[in-house]
Amino acid sequence: MDLGIRGKRALVCASSKGLGLGCAEALAAAGVDLVMNARGVEALERAAESIRAAYGVNVTTVACDVTTAEGQAQVLGAAGDVDILVTNAGGPPPGMWHDWTRDDFLRALDANMLTPIALMTAIMPGMIDRGWGRVVNITSQSVKAPIPQLGLSNAARTGLTGFVAGTSRQVAQYGVTINNLLPGIHATDRANALDGPVAAKEGIPIEEARARRAATIPARRYGTIEEFGAACAFLCSAHAGFIVGQNILLDGGGTNATI
Query: Which residues are at the interface with ligand NAP (CB under 6 A)?
Result: 14-20, 37-40, 43, 65-67, 88-91, 138, 140, 183, 185-186, 188-191
3, 19, 32, 49, 190 from 187: Cα distances, Å: 26, 9, 25, 22, 8
24, 62 contact by CB (below 8 A): no
Cβ 223 to ligand NAP shortest distance, Å: 7
Q: Which of 253, 256, 232 is nearest to 243 (CA)?
A: 232
Looking at the Cβ atoms of 65 and 208, the one nearer to ligand NAP is 65
Which residue, 18 or 245, is less far from ligand NAP as judged by CB?
18
The residue type found at 182 is L
Neighbours of 258 (CB within 10 A): 3
Q: For residue 128, give the nearest of 65, 170, 175 by alpha carbon.
A: 175
Rounded least distance, CB 115 to ligand NAP, Å: 8
Opening angle at CA 16, ends 12 and 17, nearest 5:
110
Measured from the CB atom, the residue of 16 and 171 that comes closer to ligand NAP is 16
* Residue nearer to ligand NAP on the CB measure, 90 or 151: 90
Q: Which residue number, 125 or 224, has a Cβ lying nearer to ligand NAP?
A: 224
CB of 43 to ligand NAP, least distance (A): 6
Shortest distance (Å) from residue 50 CB to ligand NAP: 13
Rounded distance between C-alpha atoms, residue 102 and residue 74, angstroms: 27
Whether 189 and 17 have beta carbons less than 8 Å apart is answered as yes
DSSP state for residue 65 in the 8-state scheme: -
End-to-end CA gap in the chain:
28
Least Cβ distance, residue 185 to ligand NAP (angstroms): 4
CB of 134 to ligand NAP, least distance (A): 19
Q: Which is nearer to ligand NAP, 171 or 236 (CB)?
A: 236
Q: How far is the CB of 31 from ligand NAP (least distance, A)?
A: 23
Contacts of 135 (CB under 8 A, 6+ apart): 84, 85, 86, 87, 120, 123, 124, 127, 176, 177, 178, 179
Residues listed for the chain: 259
Nearer to ligand NAP, 139 or 167 (CB): 139
